[in-house]
Amino acid sequence: MNALGIALTAMAIMTLTLTSADSAVKPFVETREQRNAKMAWWREAKFGMFIHWGVYSVPAGKWEGKDVPSVGEWIMLHGKIPCADYQKLPEQFNPTKFDAAEWVKLAKQAGMKYIVITSKHHDGFAMFHSKTDPFNIYDATPFKRDPLKELAAACAKEGIKLGFYYSQAQDWNHPGGAAMAGGHWDKAQDGDMDKYLQDVAVPQVKELLTNYGPIAVMWWDTPADMNQQRADMLLPLLKLQPGIIMNNRLGFYDGDFGTPEQEIPKADSDNDWETCMTMNDTWGYKSTDNNWKSTQNLERNLIDIVSKGGNYLLNVGPDSLGQIPSPSVDRLKAIGNWLKTNGEAIYGTTRAPFTTMMFDGRATMKDNKLYLFVFNWPSDEIRLPDLRTSLQSARYLGINEQVDYTELPGTEMRASLVIAPPSHPDPIATVIELTYADKPVR
Ligand code: FHN
């Protein structure tokens, strides 16, 4: 499939994902207080690590010596690889460099508060010791370990919340898995979807929500051919994890949060949403994909997303030895370093009382404080709109200088603020903390 075909495929997936999963049918009966209590940690966390890791990291984007133009985890479909050939891959999958503690330590160093990892992607290969089906990393590879078990233990030890991604509808190696974006290409894939759900998806999700300790997020994906009857086969399993939250991609039902992908929506509601994004162009590892976004781009994406009330789920795609690519590691460490001195302007904040920025930057709010993130300073000053409260103090986070500001006269309770540029602005973003007499409102 050429690049256009891939783009159209992705569009089709996204349309299906965002429309079919964005129904208004609420999956749970809960009070506002119950919902707020359930979402509290997630709204505070703001920043998570997405991990796309699977047997597709073995071919890493190439098949029979040729590049397969697609994201790494879609190589089987775009390469139209026969099931029997793909099912030989686990013999070569022995990620001896995998170290769960190292991955969790990196997430913490990056300032990430939760991890969502692919437990089973569309290729149907389970990255855990599934008793449901031997097409899994424990039974089918020389590795003979359960990386999700090891990751769950490392997350519990370090206080990082753990979520599982599960492809509940698309499954290219089990008969009856939904056919999307080019459908089935191998007779072995033909079968009944309800039987696939009953025999594979339901028991595997049950294993995931039973055998790995506290699971904080269920991250469903591509709800192809899902309907209420099929969603109702899976939804009750969440009762195994009291307090768990789920995204909006189960199918038929809405979810606890929206999932804009590779994009940052405008800030137009107080709904919960999470942008998921790659650091290069692929979710699953591809040896040829070195189109890495800059640290500044990634950091400013985090600031932009949080200023609009969202979470950022930033992806890493480990290789077939279990190593996170070094360009990802370098970027995550740099982002974490910036968050060390500026994180209080990110974690636990909400949208500021104005969305139109009068300067090249963003703003967040927490209680009686406003945080301004100035990306590029104008030559003279930045201005803030009038706010119904009085400014008590101003300071830079991460810059050892006084904030030079003037309050211009306005109505008795409303004044606009002019702030002169510092001598050494932060190249990612200069953060100014403004403390007011009470919560700043327009
Ligand atoms: O098809 C998948 C894709 O491989 C990747 O997992 C993304 C991540 O959100 N979800 C689907 C495309 O929307």
364 and 340 inside one domain: no
Atom 5 of ligand 1, nearest CA residue: 283
Q: What is the CA radius of gyration of the chain?
A: 23
Mutate to test the pocket of ligand 1, among 221, 279, 289 (most ligand atoms within 8 A of CB): 221
Give this prediction's pTM. Answer: 0.94
Residues 372 and 287 in one domain: no
Does 46 lie in the same domain as 138? yes
In a domain, 295, yes or no: yes
Q: 84-139 pLDDT, tens per residue?
A: 999 999 999 999 999 999 999 999 999 999 999 999 999 999 999 999 999 999 99
> What is the tally of structural domains in the chain?
2
Look at residue 374 and tell me if it is in a domain.
yes
Same domain, 237 and 365: no
Specify the ligand 1 atom closest to the Cα of 276.
Answer: 9
Identify the domain boundary among 345, 360, 388.
Answer: 345
Reply yes or no on whether the pLDDT at 336 is more than 90: yes
- The CATH number of residue 41's host domain is 3.20.20.80
How far are the Cα atoms of 119, 208, 274 from residue 245, in angstroms, in the given order? 16, 14, 13
Calculate how far, in angstroms, residue 373's C-alpha sits from the geometric centre of ligand 1. 31
The pLDDT assigned to 355 comes to 73
Instruction: State mean pLDDT over 7-30.
Output: 54
Nearest partner of 398 among 330, 320, 345, judged by Cα:
345
Task: Kindly state whether residue 179 falls inside one of the protein's structural domains.
Answer: yes
Are 260 and 366 found together in one domain? no
Q: How far is the CA of 421 from the centre of ligand 1 (A)?
A: 42
* Average pLDDT in the chain: 91
For residue 441, being part of any structural domain is answered with: no
Higher pLDDT among residues 399 and 132, named by residue: 132
Rounded Cα–Cα distance for residues 321 and 297 (Å): 28
Tell me what pLDDT residue 411 has: 52
52 Cα to the center of ligand 1, angstroms = 9
pLDDT of 4 reads 45
Is residue 280 predicted with pLDDT exceeding 80? yes
Q: Say if residue 314 is in the same domain as residue 394.
A: no
**Ligand 1: centre distance to CA 431 (Å):** 34
Residue 365 Cα to ligand 1 midpoint, Å, equals 32
Q: What is the pLDDT of residue 410?
A: 62
How far does the centroid of ligand 1 lie from the alpha carbon of residue 266, in Å? 21
Do 192 and 118 lie in one domain? The reply is: yes
Q: Quick check: 9 pLDDT over 50?
A: no
Q: Which two tokens stand for residue 237?
A: 């399993």
User: Closest residue (by CA) to atom 4 of ligand 1?
Assistant: 73
Ligand 1 atom having least distance to the Cα of 52: 6
Instruction: Give the whole-number percent of the chain exceeding pLDDT 70.
Output: 93
How far, in Å, from the CA of 221 to the mean position of ligand 1? 7
Distance 84 CA to ligand 1 centre (A): 24
Mean pLDDT: which of 180-189, 274-283, 353-362 is highest? 274-283
Domain finish residue from 345, 371, 397: 345
User: Is pLDDT above 70 for 194?
Assistant: yes
For residue 402, what is the domain's CATH number? Answer: 2.60.40.1180
C-alpha pair distances (Å), 258 with each of 112, 148, 248, 268: 19, 25, 6, 13
Residues with CB under 6 Å of ligand 1 are: 13-14, 17, 71, 73-74, 221-222, 261, 276, 283
From 330, 345, 360, give the residue that closes a domain: 345
* Nearest CA, atom 13, ligand 1: 14
Are 170 and 48 members of one domain?
A: yes
**Mean pLDDT of the 182-196 span:** 92
Pairing of strands 217-220, 245-246: parallel
Q: Give the position, in ligand 1's atom list, of the atom nearest the Cα of 315.
A: 8
Full domain range(s) for residue 373:
352-436
Position 386 scores a pLDDT of: 72
Same domain, 74 and 133: yes
Q: pLDDT of 51-66, one tens digit each? A: 999 999 999 999 999 9
Mean pLDDT computed over 261-273: 89
- E strands of 289-359, at which residues? 311-316, 350-351
Is residue 310 predicted with pLDDT exceeding 80? yes
Please report the pLDDT score of residue 415 as a whole number: 56
Atom from ligand 1 closest to the CA of residue 284: 4
Instruction: Give yes or no for residue 259 having a pLDDT over 90.
Output: yes
Q: Is the confidence at residue 204, as pLDDT, over 70?
A: yes
Q: Which atom of ligand 1 is nearest to the CA of 73?
A: 4
Determine the average pLDDT of the residues in 9-33.
60
Q: What is the mean pLDDT of residues 368-388?
A: 85
pLDDT digits (tens, 9 = 90+) for 291-309: 999 999 999 999 999 999 9
Q: For 10-145, list the strands marked E by DSSP.
A: 47-51, 62-63, 66-67, 114-120
Ligand 1 closest atom vs CA 74:
4
Domain membership flag for residue 94: yes
Mean pLDDT of 338-354: 95
Residues 26-41 have a mean pLDDT of 94
Q: Is residue 393 domain-resident?
A: yes
Asked if 397 and 250 sit in the same domain, the reply is no
Calculate how far, in angstroms, residue 336's C-alpha sits from the geometric centre of ligand 1.
25
Q: Give the mean model confidence (pLDDT) for residues 228-238.
A: 98
What is the CB neighbour count within 10 angstroms for residue 215? 22
Note the pLDDT of residue 11. Answer: 44
Residue 442 lies in a domain: no
Element (H, E) at 324: none
CA distance 235 to 290: 38
User: What pLDDT, on a 0 to 100 scale, did the predictor assign at position 7?
Assistant: 46
Q: Please determine, for residue 6, whether its predicted confidence score (pLDDT) is greater than 60.
A: no
Question: Which residues contact residue 69 at a Cβ distance below 8 angstroms, ignoring those fewer than 6 apart?
Answer: 1, 2, 3, 6, 78
What confidence tier does 13 reach under pLDDT thresholds 50, 70, 90?
A: very low
Judgement on whether residues 338 and 370 belong to the same structural domain of the protein: no
User: How many angstroms separate the first and last alpha carbons of the chain?
Assistant: 52
Average the pLDDT over 270-290 and give the result: 97
Residue of the nearest CA to atom 10 in ligand 1? 221
313 with 241, same domain: the answer is: yes
